[in-house]
Amino acid sequence: MEWQRADLSLPRILPYTRLLLNGERLAPNHLDEYYLWTAAGDMDLPLGFNSSGIATWGDEFPRTEDRQLVEGLGIADAPRGRRIGWEAHLRHRLLRAGMFTVTHSNLTYRKRTRFSHTLQARGKRHFQWRLEGGYDWRPQTPYGQAHISYRLDKSGSSSIGISARHQRRDWIFGVTFSLRPTFAIMDGKPFLLTKSRLNPEMGGLKGHVFLDRNGNGLHEKGERGIEGIEVVANTGQRMTTTKRGTFILHPRGLQRDVHVRLNPLTVPAFYDATNGAQWAEIKKGALTRVGLGLIILNSVTGIVFYPDPQDTTKTVKLGGVRVVARSSTGEVVQNSITSGDGRYYIGELKPGDYQIDIDAQTLRRGFSVVEKPEPVRLEPTNDSIDLRQINIRCRYVPPPEREDEEQEAPEKKIDYKKF
């Protein structure tokens, strides 16, 4: 026997749509070959509806023994002539009441329209139940079906359950057991995804909270992760980053666009966000990568002083002077006023190049800066604040004295001989 299968995921033509095409080839006796093509897709609709469908076409098996041979192999994905046709689903979430689904199948062996309503337990409960009711067009009889299962993990991908179906006065009972552990690599070690309640079939988010050394908001090589930062999604899920800054989230429901952000209460004061929030698209069967960046805020401190004119070995501190930090474009980013002992402190400076200067309008008459300090480059080094010491030296030149008294005008002599 020879069986081959090929899958092809087609590019998205419309927003919120996905289309998957696969082909199967089966040669039971190495003489006759049978082919089956399958196209499956889904689309999000307005008002919270979601639609999906599948269509199959290919070769019918001409002989009964070939069909029985294929069906007896136990291969779930092996092509079968009876699968030719189409099936469509329309779903809508009824708030906390679960998921309501309408399904219509038009296959070579079955024509059925059925309604199903799925209720899933929340919180610490692991039970899930499903009730279905519908009408089979072949044979023309109604049917009812119930299924109850117990989830063995938080995601529900592994479970054990029982089912019962009633149709035409006949009962069918069954037992199901599913065990599908899924692992991902986090911090260089395997991580069981089901522990995070994430169902790989529905998709999820995997990301890093990292130290953005260059402040561009992108996670680049050499930028390590930051531990202990909580990441929150707008769908209610949250997780604290591991030692390497990684996290995994499992958004609920059919929402495809999820907004994730950093919880500011868990971010230390000396960090500032370069990319503290981000929208991400959830894709079925995949983990969407997200990067949230933080930078370390730097600080500059120093003293503004001038030499004592009476004793050159001593200095005099200048208070009440405004010290500014200018960016490379000349814009004032932060400022500080010196205290009585001439000290200043400028904090919350992002990594970059700065020029520390004095506002000349705040200097007293006769004072001026001897020489501007050299430009300083601030960049994160460790997990602590980079405190730079930059002192500014001034000088004092006594201003010239003002002549406040006006000179008296000379007395005019009067010639009395004219009278």
Residue by residue, DSSP assigns 42-73 as: EEE-GGGEEEEEEEEEEPPPSSHHHHHHHHTT
DSSP H or E run through 119: strand 111-120
Identify the weakest region by mean pLDDT among 319-333, 358-372, 381-395: 381-395
Q: What percent of the chain has pLDDT over 90?
A: 9
Query: Which of the two residues, 363 and 151, has the higher pLDDT score?
Result: 363
Report pLDDT for 5. Answer: 64
19-27: long-range pairs with CB below 8 Å, 24+: 24/58, 24/77, 24/78, 24/79, 25/79, 26/1, 26/2, 26/70, 26/78, 26/79, 27/1, 27/2, 27/3
Strand ranges (DSSP E) for 152-266? 159-167, 170-178, 183-186, 189-192, 204-211, 230-233, 238-240, 246-249, 257-262
pLDDT by residue (tens digit) across 75-95? Answer: 444 444 446 888 899 988 776
Question: Residue 399 has what pLDDT?
Answer: 78
Output the pLDDT for position 377: 82
Please state, as a whole number, how many other Cβ atoms lie within 10 Å of the Cβ of residue 193.
24
Q: State yes or no: pLDDT of 51 exceeds 80.
A: yes
Q: What is the pLDDT of residue 79?
A: 44
What is the percent of the chain with per-residue pLDDT over 70, rounded to a whole number? 71
Nearest one of 308, 390, 320, 315 to 357, comparing CA atoms:
390
Q: Is the Cβ–Cβ distance between 174 and 136 less than 8 Å? A: no
Mean pLDDT of 276-293: 84
Lowest mean pLDDT among 250-264, 271-285, 289-303: 250-264
Output 371 or 125, whichever has higher pLDDT: 371
Cis peptide before 375 (omega within 30 of 0): no
Rounded to 5 degrees, φ, ψ at 22 are -140, 155
Q: Please give the model's pTM, rounded to 2 decimal places.
A: 0.47
Task: Name the DSSP class of 150.
Answer: E
Q: Which residue has the higher pLDDT, 311 or 190?
A: 311
- Give the pLDDT mean for 353-359: 89
Per-residue pLDDT, 247: 87
Confidence of residue 65 (pLDDT cuts 50, 70, 90): very low
pLDDT tens digits along 217-243: 788 888 888 889 999 988 888 888 888
Distance separating alpha carbons of residues 229 and 400, to the nearest angstrom: 62
Q: 182 pLDDT band (50/70/90 cuts)?
A: low
Please give the mean pLDDT across all residues of the chain.
77
Mean pLDDT, residues 11-23: 70
**Alpha-carbon dihedral 351, 354, 356, 358, rounded to 10 degrees:** -120
245 pLDDT more than 70: yes
> Which pLDDT score, from 0 to 100, does residue 230 have?
92
Residue 172 in this model has a pLDDT that exceeds 80 = yes
Instruction: Give the pLDDT band of residue 136 (cuts 50, 70, 90).
Output: confident
Q: Which of 1-10, 228-237, 256-265, 308-317 has the lowest mean pLDDT?
A: 1-10
CB 152 within 8 A of CB 160: yes
Measured CA to CA, the distance from residue 155 to residue 193 in angstroms comes to 8
pLDDT at residue 150 is higher than 70: yes
Q: Report, as an integer, the average pLDDT of 44-63.
A: 78
* Confidence (pLDDT) at 78: 43
Find the range with the poorest average confidence among 31-45, 269-283, 312-326: 31-45
Which one is predicted more confidently, 388 or 96? Answer: 388
- Please tell me which of 148-162, 194-208, 309-323 the model is most confident about, judged by mean pLDDT: 309-323
Report residue 217 as tokens: 């908001």
Total Cβ atoms within 10 A of residue 291: 18
Higher confidence at residue 45 or residue 402? 45
